[in-house]
C-alpha cells in the first residue's frame, strides 16, 4: 500500500506511548475475541494489516457491534459475547478528535461509515511500527483501542479475563441505538 508522505510526516510527530489496561470486545458467539480481522474497518483498509478492534468501555463495544448488526438484513437476533481483555502494548498512538480533524477528517464526518481517510490514518500508524491506536469511538462517548497484532512485541499481554453473553438487541433498544420496527 502506498502511504501519503504528508500523512506519515504528521503522524511521526506524535509520540507513541505504552498502554496497559482492560478493554472490551463484543463478538458474535463462538468467535475468539483475540482473533484479528483483515476485513478492514474504520481504521484499516480491507486486506491490509490484521486489526483487533476493542473499546475502553463495555458499552462502547456494545455500541459498535449494535451499530453494525442494526444495518444487516435480516437483523441478527442471537446474543453477542462481550469479552473483558487485559492488554499491554509498547507503541500505541493516541489521537484525540482535534488531532483526527487536523489529519483530514472533519468532526462532522467522523461518524460516517467507510471513511477512506481514517483507514489511511490507521494503515499509516501501523506502517510506522505502532502496535496500537487509541481514538474516540464514533458510536459511544469513550475511546477505542485498535491493536495491530503483528506489531505487538512477544511479551505484550492479550489475555481474556472474562466473557458474558448479552442480548444486544435489548441493550441497543434500551440505549436508543435501535429503533427499527419489531421483527
Task: Give pLDDT, residue 182.
Answer: 55
Average pLDDT (105-131) is 93
Could you give the maximum distance between any two Cα atoms of the chain, in Å? 50
Residue 115 has pLDDT above 90, yes or no: no
Q: How far apart are CA 26 and CA 62, in angstroms?
A: 6
SS3 labels along 18-74:
EEEEEEEEEEECCCCCCCCECCCECCECCCCCCEEEEECCHHHHHHHHHHHHHCCCC
In tens, the pLDDT along 65-90 reads 999 999 999 999 999 999 999 999 99
Q: Domain 5-170, what fold?
A: Diphtheria Toxin; domain 1 (3.90.175)
- According to the model, what pLDDT value does residue 16 have? 98
Question: Phi/psi of residue 19, each to 5°?
Answer: -125, 135
pLDDT tens for residues 40-69?
899 999 999 999 999 999 999 999 999 999
- Global pTM value: 0.94
Q: Which tens digits make up the pLDDT trace of 138-181?
A: 999 999 999 999 999 999 999 999 999 999 999 999 999 998 76
- Model confidence at 114, pLDDT cuts 50, 70, 90, reads confident
What confidence score (pLDDT) does residue 179 get? 83
**Of 23-27, 117-121, 177-181, minimum mean pLDDT range:** 177-181
Residue 157 is given by DSSP the state: -
Q: Higher-confidence residue: 182 or 1? A: 1
Positive/negative CA dihedral, 134, 137, 140, 145: negative
Amino acid at each position: 500500500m502506498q502511504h501519503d508522505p504528508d500523512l506519515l510526516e504528521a503522524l511521526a510527530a506524535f509520540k507513541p506511548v505504552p498502554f496497559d489496561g482492560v478493554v472490551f470486545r463484543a463478538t458474535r458467539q463462538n468467535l475468539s475475541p483475540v482473533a484479528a480481522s483483515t476485513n478492514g474497518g474504520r481504521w484499516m483498509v480491507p486486506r491490509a494489516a490484521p486489526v483487533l478492534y476493542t473499546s475502553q468501555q463495555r458499552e462502547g463495544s456494545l455500541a459498535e457491534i449494535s451499530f453494525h448488526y442494526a444495518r444487516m438484513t435480516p437483523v441478527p437476533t442471537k446474543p453477542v459475547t462481550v469479552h473483558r481483555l487485559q492488554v499491554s502494548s509498547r507503541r500505541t498512538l493516541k489521537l484525540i478528535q482535534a488531532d483526527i480533524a487536523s489529519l483530514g477528517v472533519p468532526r462532522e464526518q467522523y461518524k460516517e461509515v467507510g471513511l477512506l481517510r481514517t483507514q489511511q490514518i490507521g494503515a499509516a500508524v501501523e506502517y510506522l511500527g505502532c502496535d496500537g491506536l487509541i481514538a474516540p469511538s464514533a458510536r459511544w462517548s469513550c475511546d477505542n483501542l485498535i491493536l495491530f497484532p503483528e506489531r505487538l512485541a512477544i511479551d505484550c499481554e492479550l489475555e481474556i479475563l472474562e466473557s458474558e453473553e448479552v442480548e444486544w438487541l435489548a441493550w441497543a433498544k434500551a440505549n436508543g441505538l435501535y429503533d427499527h420496527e419489531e421483527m
